[in-house]
Amino acid sequence: MAWREGEKVFKDPVHGYIYVHDPLIWDLINTREMQRLRRIRQLGTAYLTYPGGEHSRFSHALGVYEVLRQMLSHFARNGYDWPHQYDRLVTVSGLLHDIGHAPFSHALEPIFGAHHERWSQRIILDPHTEVHRVLAQVSEDFPRQVAEVLAKRHPSRLVVSMVSGQLDADRLDYLMRDSLFTGVDYGQFDLARILRILVPWKDRLVVKRSGLHTVEAYLLARYFMYWQVYFHPVCRAAEIGLKKVLLRAQDLSRASAPPEVPHPALRRLLAMEPLSVADYLELDDFVVLTAVANWRHHPDPILSDLARRLLDRRLLKYREYPSGDPYRLRDIEATIAEAGFDPRYYCEVDESGTVYYDYYLGEESADDEEGALFLWDPEEGRLTEMSRLSQPIRAIARERQVERRLYLPEEVLESPQWGARIRSLTAAGGLRAPGFLSSVEDDEADG
Amino acid sequence: MAWREGEKVFKDPVHGYIYVHDPLIWDLINTREMQRLRRIRQLGTAYLTYPGGEHSRFSHALGVYEVLRQMLSHFARNGYDWPHQYDRLVTVSGLLHDIGHAPFSHALEPIFGAHHERWSQRIILDPHTEVHRVLAQVSEDFPRQVAEVLAKRHPSRLVVSMVSGQLDADRLDYLMRDSLFTGVDYGQFDLARILRILVPWKDRLVVKRSGLHTVEAYLLARYFMYWQVYFHPVCRAAEIGLKKVLLRAQDLSRASAPPEVPHPALRRLLAMEPLSVADYLELDDFVVLTAVANWRHHPDPILSDLARRLLDRRLLKYREYPSGDPYRLRDIEATIAEAGFDPRYYCEVDESGTVYYDYYLGEESADDEEGALFLWDPEEGRLTEMSRLSQPIRAIARERQVERRLYLPEEVLESPQWGARIRSLTAAGGLRAPGFLSSVEDDEADG
Amino acid sequence: MAWREGEKVFKDPVHGYIYVHDPLIWDLINTREMQRLRRIRQLGTAYLTYPGGEHSRFSHALGVYEVLRQMLSHFARNGYDWPHQYDRLVTVSGLLHDIGHAPFSHALEPIFGAHHERWSQRIILDPHTEVHRVLAQVSEDFPRQVAEVLAKRHPSRLVVSMVSGQLDADRLDYLMRDSLFTGVDYGQFDLARILRILVPWKDRLVVKRSGLHTVEAYLLARYFMYWQVYFHPVCRAAEIGLKKVLLRAQDLSRASAPPEVPHPALRRLLAMEPLSVADYLELDDFVVLTAVANWRHHPDPILSDLARRLLDRRLLKYREYPSGDPYRLRDIEATIAEAGFDPRYYCEVDESGTVYYDYYLGEESADDEEGALFLWDPEEGRLTEMSRLSQPIRAIARERQVERRLYLPEEVLESPQWGARIRSLTAAGGLRAPGFLSSVEDDEADG
Amino acid sequence: MAWREGEKVFKDPVHGYIYVHDPLIWDLINTREMQRLRRIRQLGTAYLTYPGGEHSRFSHALGVYEVLRQMLSHFARNGYDWPHQYDRLVTVSGLLHDIGHAPFSHALEPIFGAHHERWSQRIILDPHTEVHRVLAQVSEDFPRQVAEVLAKRHPSRLVVSMVSGQLDADRLDYLMRDSLFTGVDYGQFDLARILRILVPWKDRLVVKRSGLHTVEAYLLARYFMYWQVYFHPVCRAAEIGLKKVLLRAQDLSRASAPPEVPHPALRRLLAMEPLSVADYLELDDFVVLTAVANWRHHPDPILSDLARRLLDRRLLKYREYPSGDPYRLRDIEATIAEAGFDPRYYCEVDESGTVYYDYYLGEESADDEEGALFLWDPEEGRLTEMSRLSQPIRAIARERQVERRLYLPEEVLESPQWGARIRSLTAAGGLRAPGFLSSVEDDEADG
């Protein structure tokens, strides 16, 4: 498509409009590899819990680009000291940062050992992709520069941190976007204000002295979105459901009777054969879910049962399971097997937890910790690590809050015969400290 | 899944929460047929124009239910004269109103002669569907009652008009939902206020005297959504793109060399064989788009080219084409053929237009016109048809505004050889009256 | 206050942030005359109907400035042909456009013959005001230029139309602001989109070809806000209540016994003595309402009664009164007098109505009509007047829709003795055509 | 005003609509004492910092009522164990909770020793007020019951905690309202969700087990609103400005030359004479600000200067002043005096700080701590105090974070002669722990 003069816009429910002034960005958006992201949902199977969460990685990629465009425009308007030769590198890297994402990557990657970051680089460096060809028009070396930013190996730490850092455009967009589409309000924060407090300073992005509470609010928004969406126990159940189907299909593929798979690339993936870039780019949510839909009628009773459970949303149920004791888990699995379900496909211990803010507590001069945010005092020209100044940030920082849950079939849990045994094996002593507390409303989004 | 006490909720970006108090509703939501709607997008291919418009018919169905639940609660709270024996019939019919929708129905139905309304009734009446079984628990006759409401043949005109009428729950939800997800603001209106002005009166839903401007605003929101989204020329281009792929696949299926189709139900559809209810329920967006993705590599050059154009979003371009003159169209098609494109697959004249409000201008006593809205004066106990009282409603009523556009490949339109000829064949005399005016920004959502 | 480097911002619920880069704007905001606008409510007495409508002309003035700042930034970014020497003149004129507003101007101006437009010019040209002194720092002539823009006499028609025209920054801000604060949704529209379709062209502001529906939506938002807020019958009742108090105070001031007035400028105003600029700038809502509060205990029974009715929100009630027949009005007034109320203070016929869009229907070449909006076709370089292309705009254009209501004390209307007579004198034949229909919900905001 | 059938509504930007079904509520809203709250701004002088923050205590009172109405409706719908004889007592107490508020109470009360809580009770119990008369229609004893709720002495701890507690309707409404009108997003949270997690249980309001993160978000919203609005240094400067004017007026009133005061009630207040209920009800923002406006021209040079500074928004400037050292303060005051300003009127040390959540750390059984929130586990029937389960709540609980600032005239701070001395007297060691850190953007809302 030929570039026409003037700015182009996309309507977007998060940012209102996404403005494109650079023909390079336009050409990248229209590559086949970017268009593939329209067929990969940002939140994987979470739409089974939050019906509105059906948005794709494509609109997120546009959003990341837009946030970066606004950042650069803010730097320019305020005359900040910023290396303008990197303008395009920043916006392009933001747009392409998820180009290598697999469908349902959280469910797929652990099974197949794929890593979307590495695929992103392969796609960008492969001379046969459209993305590569568009990038190479800037300069022969440009694809490599973009790949370096995505690999966090680019010499400019500043450029890297704008795309992947503690307060990067990726997180800023996905928190707001996931929040809007799921209808969970917690992820909303004041983007205009965030942009106003970020300053490029000596090869890093720092926070103006007055931005303390703004950053607190951002980090807490992230904290809430984790517990309300990303770690939501029903969201995890859906993901586990998909993982189990794929696991069974993989097991069958390796055995004598590979299941019918409607797509050669997926067939290769299930058989653990190496994938070319072209193969990989064939994979999307539609290919995977169509395979699952076909398996509904597969002769293997486990595969067809697992497929039906996922498609008809009869997900595994959970009990909190703080212990993690492997002996006890063996007893649980034995019970499930006695009840007639193969625990390999019908039982999972799921651990949710992350580090919300990874700070540095060393010498004040050692300001180079990657995961930390620094407050910058223009009068004194000094950086102070954020958690030293904020009790709420200290509260959610560093420590890993973990929630451990046991998933198993409702038939087992509700059975008079087996349910009591399971309940006694997972019993815990009342309400526990956060991270061990059920973080969601039992009656919500739980159909 | 067993029903547990208390209300259930879904988080929803449009209504905040969707409240479920009735176990019947809960059971219906969890049927396989309702879950299928998660895999059918509300706006079909419109997401290619509005990246956010990726929401499914499932969340819309929940929204229609919620609007009806609120209506009934409002009737009860205000002590309106309403037949409470129909409460469940109304909410259930709203929830199930789209149960028979095909994937991409606007593109599919004209080609295959399917009608989603008729499929909805078949699905509800078929004793083998889960939906039927849940409904039959209420009473043996209940499935038939629901089917009658969807067919607009139920004896209570009031019940029918709440589900399918000029101001029904279906429209109320989809205008707000499509508006939110696409990011186009025009569809927003004040739902709480709409609920406050609707009154059941003598077997019809009428508008309280004070609600004139509220209804005006609602009808105009609809008018704007049509021109900004449903008739958006790029949205139409995407739909045409899908139609052309399916047309080619159908032509090939009827000919000697049927294309590989990854799903038996779709294969049968393309071959024009009759579909059972079970077949039909296998169809969803994923099945269709996976087939299209496979065709990308099909040996038939037209099929593979059309598939790639759609997937990579290289859509047909358009010129306004007010004339509709068949002689001229023949010349246009000849030009396209000369340029090397088969006009059957690479040319389309598209007419957009609807009647925004279909009013009745006859005797004042004849108040039974279906498409009309009536204002009710409680003091005088008299109905007055809305457009008699409102200039803006009169302005958009009855008359069908039509926009006619010619779609063809960009290669032809931009070619020095053929482009000028096409432009002269589609030339018109400057700006024309509405309906003939390009209704969108040329530079928007047009990638 | 000294100007410090960098941009200044105000948090604003309508625009998010209001950005100030120009020290001149900052200095003007901090003048005494601008700060006075904080004590004058944008909607006068409308807060008695819409409790949230308590915002001041000050925040509106900032909003108008911000809309113009965004317009200019949009012109610059897109390289439009715009005379940049007028940048400051535009933003300054927008900021100051209401500087001469009286408190409750709709109630006060008819009684005292003041005109806020003329006072704006006097204030700007008076060398003793702070505003004048700040403006004169730009150039000796600058105050005069600003006054000319406000008087619509500036040679650049383009500059004038951005500040006061059919689609000016004043209207754009007040519709959104009044809508947000009252909670009435109708006034919302897509400002970003409006900015995208406006183009300076040959000394006028025209609308890009693609902007037809955007302008339709804007004009209809205005139409709805008029009927839901500005013409709301209870809003009018409150305004009439204040007018009547002031009328009685004026009558007493002219007679032997002037009421105690807590402020010399108001005392002079009531006595119809000429006011100096300094006097005028003393007037604000607080001065007026404190006077009214004092009059609650005034020995004159009419004055104290009228004051109490207003302060305690016991407003006059209304009947629709389509006739306007002066003979009948005489009978009505006689009835009110018989009931013991002086009709001069306890009766009013109120006419609401405006022209929503004043278009020109003459020769197509005659494109200079002031109130008209023109669509601009860049390919053909031709202007077309909007209502020629839009049925909804034609529907609300030119014709003046009028609603006529009779206001009188509830005691009379509800009295068994007089109420029936009043009702028969104001009886009309059922629902009438728009403009004569009660445009609001009877039970809303009506306490 | 007579009550008419059906529900009444107010449009409200926070809650959409405020529904009134109970004629008693309607009659109370229309009393003179409630209408007085329209003339008292919720945020006092904060509008000088946040231009949108001009809303009155009247709309807040309606909002508190609406939140309580929704709470009761939620209790009823879910069949919670709640003493329905208290329904009216709860909604009425919520509506009237601020009836005794003085204008600018934060500035006025410390000077004059008034307490709005006590005035609320006096007004409700005084048989001459309209509010009393309406309440007494319910039962002779009803006014006393309402007064007891407001005094937190009512026997039902549950009723009291819904109106004044850690998670009461008052806070829920003002956080959302102040947030919306100022444009500061931090105060927004999910009210529907809060309502869903609150359960009346054994005479207290407890939080359902699943509500932990919801309460965290609410408490953090409060924390942010304190630092961004209530403790904003420029908001404090405006309040100090008003306090200083009133202090000077009071000093003059006690001395030989009382200033002219336009209102007898205010005159009495300044002279420290006792006020009757009738006097007190005369006081509102308009009376106070009109007095200040008059003093602009008062012969006392300090009074007129202080009045002008406030009206024209030339506020005192601040330096952080962590020390609080009284010796140093003496030096500061001496410097200010040398510079020609009386420190009594031109200098203030302001301490901001509150306890965001006051928890109880004792025995688990001792569940009666007033300021604490308890999580309720329905399975185990046990309460757990919130901060035991939440790190973010622990982080902001109990400890009082204090920010101490020194306010003085800009002329002194910017003077070459005195500024340096002041800066050295207020110097501190770089960035300090939270509570001592400047919590706002220096360049925001700071004109």
CB contact under 8 A, D399 and A391: yes
Report the pLDDT averaged over residues D34-62: 94
CB contact under 8 A, C6 and A78: yes
**Residue D398: its pLDDT value, please?**
62
Give a yes or no: residue D421 inside a domain.
no
Query: What is the value of pTM for the model shown?
Result: 0.89
**Residue B440: its pLDDT value, please?**
37
**Residue C109: its pLDDT value, please?**
83
List chain C residues with CB under 8 Å of D32.
308, 311-312
CB contact under 8 A, B391 and C396: yes
Give a yes or no: residue B381 inside a domain.
no
Interface of D with A in 233-272 (CB under 8 A): none
Identify the CA nearest to D325 among candidates D425, D433, D445: D425
Residue D178 has pLDDT above 70, yes or no: yes
Q: Does residue B446 share a domain with residue B334?
A: yes
Give a yes or no: residue A206 inside a domain.
no
Q: Does residue B431 share a domain with residue B310?
A: no
B: neighbours with 3+ CB pairs under 8 Å? A, C, D
**Residue B403: its pLDDT value, please?**
80
**Residue D358: its pLDDT value, please?**
67
Token digits of residue B220: 């105009």
Q: Does residue B321 share a domain with residue B310?
A: no
CB contact under 8 A, C210 and B392: no
**Which of D175, D206, D212, D440 is best to mutate for the A interface (most A CBs within 10 A)?**
D212
Residue C26 has pLDDT above 90, yes or no: yes
Residue D102 has pLDDT above 50, yes or no: yes
Report the pLDDT averaged over residues C44-62: 95
Q: Does residue A177 share a domain with residue A236?
A: no
Domain that holds residue B424: 316-354+400-447
Residue B102 has pLDDT above 70, yes or no: yes
C: neighbours with 3+ CB pairs under 8 Å? A, B, D
Give a yes or no: residue A395 inside a domain.
no
Percent of chain C residues past pLDDT 70, beyond the cut: 88
Residue D116: pLDDT band (50, 70, 90) is: confident
CB contact under 8 A, B78 and D6: yes
Residue C445 has pLDDT above 70, yes or no: no
Q: Does residue C327 share a domain with residue C276?
A: no
Identify the CA nearest to C219 among candidates C183, C175, C185, C260: C175
- C361 or A161, which is more confident? A161
**Residue B361: its pLDDT value, please?**
52
3-state secondary structure of D206: strand
Residue B98 has pLDDT above 60, yes or no: yes
Which of B168, B183, B198 represents a domain boundary (last residue)? B183
Over its length of 447 residues, how does chain A's per-residue pLDDT go in tens digits? 334 456 788 999 999 999 998 999 999 998 999 999 999 999 999 999 999 999 999 999 999 999 999 999 999 988 898 999 999 999 999 999 999 999 998 888 877 777 888 999 999 999 999 999 999 999 999 999 999 999 999 999 999 999 998 899 999 999 999 999 999 887 778 888 899 899 998 888 999 888 888 999 999 898 889 888 998 999 999 999 999 999 999 999 888 767 778 778 899 989 888 899 999 998 999 889 888 988 988 999 999 999 999 988 899 999 888 766 777 889 999 999 999 999 999 999 998 877 777 665 544 444 445 678 888 877 667 788 888 888 888 887 766 667 889 999 999 999 998 999 988 888 764 444 443 333 333 334 433
Give a yes or no: residue D358 inside a domain.
no
Mean pLDDT of chain D: 86
Residue D431 has pLDDT above 80, yes or no: no
Task: Compute the nearest-CA separation of C329 from chain D (Å).
Answer: 25
Residue B31 has pLDDT above 80, yes or no: yes
List chain C residues with CB under 8 Å of A8.
none
Asked if residues B225 and B433 have their Cβ atoms less than 8 Å apart, the reply is no
Q: What is the ipTM of this complex?
A: 0.85
**Residue C433: its pLDDT value, please?**
40
C224: nearest CB among B188, B213, B434: B213
Asked if residues B68 and B53 have their Cβ atoms less than 8 Å apart, the reply is no
- Greatest Cα-to-Cα distance within chain A, rounded to the nearest angstrom: 73
**Residue C385: its pLDDT value, please?**
86
Q: How far apart are CA B351 and CA A363, in angstroms?
A: 70
**Residue A93: its pLDDT value, please?**
98
Which residue of A lies nearest to B49 if distances are taken between CA atoms? A10
Which of D314, D330, D365 represents a domain boundary (last residue)? D314
Q: How far apart are CA B46 and CA D227, in angstroms?
A: 44
Contacts (Cβ under 8 Å, ≥6 apart) of A218? A167, A172, A175, A189, A194
| A-C Cβ pairs (cutoff 8 Å, strict) | 12
- A257 or D404, which is more confident? D404
Q: Does residue B347 share a domain with residue B290?
A: no
Which residue of A lies nearest to C78 if distances are taken between CA atoms? A6
Q: Does residue A35 share a domain with residue A166?
A: yes
Q: Does residue D163 share a domain with residue D240?
A: no
Token digits of residue D300: 């006392």
Q: Beta-carbon neighbour count of residue D4 at 10 Å?
A: 11
CB contact under 8 A, D228 and A213: yes
**Residue C369: its pLDDT value, please?**
56
CB contact under 8 A, D446 and C35: no
**Per-residue exposure over A238-257, b if at least 16 CB sit within 10 Å of its own CB, e if not:** bbbbbbbbbbbbbbbbeeee
Q: How far apart are CA D42 and CA D178, in angstroms?
A: 8
**Residue C171: its pLDDT value, please?**
94
- D353 or D273, which is more confident? D273
Long-range pairs for B79-87 at CB < 8 Å and ≥24 separation?
A: B80/B199, B80/B200, B81/B200, B81/B201, B82/B158, B82/B200, B83/B156, B83/B158, B86/B156, B86/B158, B86/B159
List chain C residues with CB under 8 Å of B223.
392
List chain A residues with CB under 8 Å of B286.
285-286, 289-290, 293
Residue B252 has pLDDT above 80, yes or no: yes
Give a yes or no: residue B295 inside a domain.
yes
Q: Does residue C322 share a domain with residue C290?
A: no
Q: Which helix (H) or strand (E) holds A350?
A: strand A348-352
Mean pLDDT of chain B: 86
Q: Does residue D161 share a domain with residue D239?
A: no
Residue C153 has pLDDT above 90, yes or no: yes
Q: What single-letter amino acid sits at A353?
A: G
Which of A183, A210, A245 represents a domain boundary (last residue)? A183
Q: Does residue B159 share a domain with residue B249?
A: no
| Residues B356-405: tens digit of each pLDDT | 776 655 444 444 456 788 888 776 677 888 888 888 888 877 666 678 89
Confirm or reject contact between B390 and chain C (CB < 8 A): yes
Q: Does residue B328 share a domain with residue B270?
A: no
Give a yes or no: residue B386 inside a domain.
no
**Residue A385: its pLDDT value, please?**
86
Identify the CA nearest to A24 among candidates A133, A141, A153, A170: A133
Give a yes or no: residue C374 inside a domain.
no
Q: Which helix (H) or strand (E) holds D348?
A: strand D348-352
Asked if residues A245 and A254 have their Cβ atoms less than 8 Å apart, the reply is no
Block residue for tokens 């039909």: B280
CB contact under 8 A, C377 and B430: yes
CB contact under 8 A, A7 and C78: yes
**Which of D17, D74, D195, D199 is best to mutate for the B interface (most B CBs within 10 A)?**
D17
| Residues D261-292: tens digit of each pLDDT | 877 889 999 988 889 999 999 899 988 988 89
What total of structural domains would you count in chain C? 3
Residue C160 has pLDDT above 60, yes or no: yes
**Residue C400: its pLDDT value, please?**
61
**Residue A398: its pLDDT value, please?**
62
**Residue A442: its pLDDT value, please?**
38
Output the domain CATH number for residue A25.
Answer: 1.10.3210.10
